[in-house]
Amino acid sequence: MELFLIICDATGQCLEVENSTLLQLKKGFVSRNLKSWQSGTNCCIWEGVTCDEYGRIIGLNLELKLITGTINPSLFNLTSLKTLNLSFNNFDGSPIPDFGWDRLVNLTSLDLFRTGFNGKVPTSISRLTKLSIINFGHNNLDSNIPDSFANFSSLSYLNLQQNNFKGFFPNQIFQLRNLKFLDISYNPMLSGNLPDFPKYNILNSLVTSNTNLSGNLPDAIGNLKFLTFLDLSSCQFYGTMPSSIGNLSELEYLDLSYNKFNGVGGFELPSYTISQSHLFWLSLANTNLIGEITPFICNLTGLMMLNLSKNKLTGTIPPCLLEGGINLRVLNLKGNQLHGAIHHGISQECKLEIINLRDNQLKGLLLRSLSNCQSLRYLDLGNNNLKDTFPYWLGNMLSLRILDLRSNKFYGLIEPSIGSYETSYAFYFSNNHFEGEIPSIIGKLVSLQVLNLSQNYLTGEILPELGNLVQLESLDLSRNYLSGKITHEFASLYFLSYLNLSYNKLVGIVPQGGQLCSFYKHFI
């Protein structure tokens, strides 16, 4: 019994040598935290420290402790350490210590996310064969990615995003049997290609966006049956978009945008996959899609974001994208060759927050049922052939912040009801056929930051009420038929950085003082 009590007293007591080691480590840090790290106290109860039953330090979690300074080599005396987390601190461009890592033979998790480290990945890390988690994301590491990473047979999580890694990404890493998460995105100098994935691969998330990876997407990508997140956007992939992607029945997020695929006529998923699809995010922007928008889109009832912009799609907009049945929040079909009128009514259950249909060949009237989209924040219909009067009825949409109708054939008066757009902060109505005077009530839209009424047929004087738009940053009234003097109230618009009143019939002296002093005369 006496022996048992002695053991109990010792349990959880920090070993003296490790206590001293942590105090040495603290000397290299500059931090107002770690106040519990005091000599003469039990280090096993210090902030961020975890010990085993023998008092050996096995975990060090110093995440977000506002630490700057350097890592003292004493760290590598903690040979029982299993997890080390220094994320969200700032070591201010210093290199990761080059030597000593091979002493931490029990380390399974190394998290240096957003720590401000610079330089290369130390070669001694390659000897940490038990590592299952490596997180070096958001630093300035600029070496090649070591081939030895492919020897980490236990590795399940590898995050190297937003660094300056270069060279060829080791293909064998893609094929690690236990790897579930891989993110190498935003390393623009990193090259490589995707391998033939084996059937036993258990990857759950694969992100290579904004790298220089290239080549054909292998048909074997369809073997990634557990994949839920796939982002290969903004790379240099080319060739045919493999139909085997349709086998990824667990996929929730798919982004293949901004690659160099061959012209793809309709992107299909097998019918057996459609009914069980979990897909909520689909972006195929700028991937050389041709032909009409494929009907399978209408079966993706969980879809919340659809981006097919900057392709060569023709035909009309599928009714299902507007009529309901899909829970879309974002619809981006910008920069295609879609044509015809939008005849379909918009469901009263509309949940759309962003609609971007600019740079197409749409014509006809603006759908009144758009007012059913009470969550709509951004509506861009610019550069089409829409012909209608001013959409006063959109003023009932209290969430609308940006309305872009530029380069269409809207005509008539800008009605006083524009005053109901009181929460909007950007209007682009240029290059239409609006006429008449600028309504004075527009001066009540005090949230406006951008107002562009250029290239219309507006007449009358520039109203002093525009001086009430105290948040205004950009004002363009050029190429109209405005007359009279420039109102001196513009001088009090202190956020105004762009003002264009050219090609009107304005007379008199340009007002001086205030913000007007910062503009060149040829704008006014």
For the cut 80, the answer to whether the pLDDT of residue 11 exceeds it is: no
Q: Is residue 200 part of a domain?
A: no
Supply the pLDDT for residue 524. Answer: 55
State the Cα–Cα distance between residues 104 and 6, nearest whole angstrom.
30
Cα–Cα dist 258/244, whole Å? 20
pLDDT at 1 over 70: no
Give the DSSP H/E element, type plus range, for residue 27: helix 16-27
pLDDT attached to residue 53: 93
| Count, residues in the chain | 524
Overall average pLDDT of the 465-491 stretch: 93
Place 522 in a pLDDT band, splitting at 50, 70 and 90.
very low
Residue 356 has pLDDT above 90, yes or no: yes
Q: Does 298 score more than 80 pLDDT?
A: yes
Task: Name 56's bridge partners.
Answer: none
Q: Where are the beta strands (DSSP E) in 63-204?
A: 68-69, 83-85, 109-111, 118-119, 133-135, 140-141, 157-159, 166-168, 181-183, 187-192
Residue pair 123/149 in contact (Cβ under 8 Å)? The answer is no
Q: Which strand (E) or helix (H) includes residue 325?
A: none
Q: Is 141 part of any domain? A: no
Measured CA to CA, the distance from residue 467 to residue 471 in angstroms comes to 10
**Paired sense of beta strands 29-30 and 253-255, if any:** unpaired
Average pLDDT, the chain: 90
**pLDDT over 90 (residue 2):** no
Structure confidence at residue 325 as a pLDDT band (50, 70, 90) = low
Tokens for 381?
């219909």
CB contact set of 501 (below 8 Å; sequence gap of 6+): 462, 477, 478, 482, 486, 523, 524
What's the average model confidence in pLDDT over 293-315?
A: 91
- The identity of residue 44, as a single letter, is C
Residue 339 lies in a domain: no
Which phi and psi (to 5°) does residue 522 adopt? -70, -10
Of 104-113, 302-311, 341-350, the least confident: 341-350
* The predicted structure's pLDDT at residue 297: 86
The pair of structure tokens assigned to 24 is: 């040495």
Is 363 within a domain?
A: no
Q: Which of 119-133, 253-267, 288-302 is predicted with the least confidence, judged by mean pLDDT?
A: 253-267
Sequence letter at residue 112: L
pLDDT digits (tens, 9 = 90+) for 46-89: 999 999 999 999 999 999 999 999 999 999 999 999 999 999 99
Give the mean model confidence (pLDDT) for residues 273-298.
83
Residues linked to residue 488 through DSSP beta bridges, in sequence order: none
Digit-coded pLDDT (tens) for 172-190: 999 999 999 999 999 999 9
- Mean pLDDT, to the nearest integer, of 473-479? 97
Number of folded domains in the chain? 1
- Pick 419 or 368 by higher pLDDT: 368
- Residue 406 forms part of a structural domain: yes
- Would residue 317 count as lying in a domain? no
What is residue 246's predicted lDDT score, i.e. its pLDDT? 85
Asked if residue 358 belongs to a domain, the reply is no
Band (pLDDT 50/70/90 cuts) for residue 151 is very high
Could you tell me what percent of the chain has a pLDDT over 90? 76
Q: Which residues of 129-148 are buried (b: 16+ CB within 10 A; e: fewer)?
A: eebbbbbbbbbebeeebbee
Contact 332, 358 (CB under 8 A): no
pLDDT in tens, 400-452: 999 999 999 999 999 877 767 788 999 999 999 999 999 988 998 999 999 99
Per-residue DSSP letters for 446-511? Answer: TT--EEE--SSEEESBPPGGGGG-TT--EEE--SS--EEPPPGGGGG-TT--EEE--SSEE-SPPP
Dist. CA 337–CA 291, nearest whole Å: 9
Distance CA 496, CA 515 (A): 7
CATH of the domain at 457: 3.80.10.10
The Cβ of residue 27 has, within 10 Å, a number of other Cβ atoms equal to 12
Task: Give DSSP secondary structure letters for 189-240.
Answer: EEEE------TT----EEE-TTEEEEEEPPGGGGG-TT--EEE--SSEEEE-
Mean pLDDT value of segment 340-365: 90
Residue 148 confidence (pLDDT): 94
Query: What distances in angstroms separate CA 30 from CA 66, 88, 118, 438, one per listed residue?
Result: 8, 14, 18, 60
Query: Coil, strand or helix: which one is 134?
Result: strand
Q: What are phi and psi of 309, to 5 degrees?
A: -70, 160
Q: How far is residue 435's CA from residue 321's CA, in Å, rounded to a whole number?
A: 34
Mean pLDDT in residue range 214-218: 96
pLDDT at 375 (0 to 100): 93
Q: What is the pTM of this model?
A: 0.90
pLDDT score of 367:
87
pLDDT category at 520 given cuts 50, 70, 90 is low
More confident residue, 246 or 29: 29
Q: Give a yes or no: residue 405 inside a domain.
A: yes
- Whether the per-residue pLDDT at 9 is higher than 60: the answer is no
What is the domain range of residue 517? 391-524
Torsional sign, CA 424, 429, 434, 437: positive
324: left (phi over 0), alpha (psi -120 to 50) or beta: left
pLDDT of residue 270: 45
Residue-level pLDDT at 237 = 97
Question: Which residue, chain included where needed, has tokens 């049922």?
Answer: 369
Residues 166 and 481: their CA atoms lie apart, in Å, by 57
Question: For the ranges 169-173, 255-259, 362-366, 394-398, which has the lowest average pLDDT?
Answer: 394-398
Tell me, what's the pLDDT at 190?
98
Q: What angle do CA 256, 262, 265 make, to 5 degrees?
A: 85
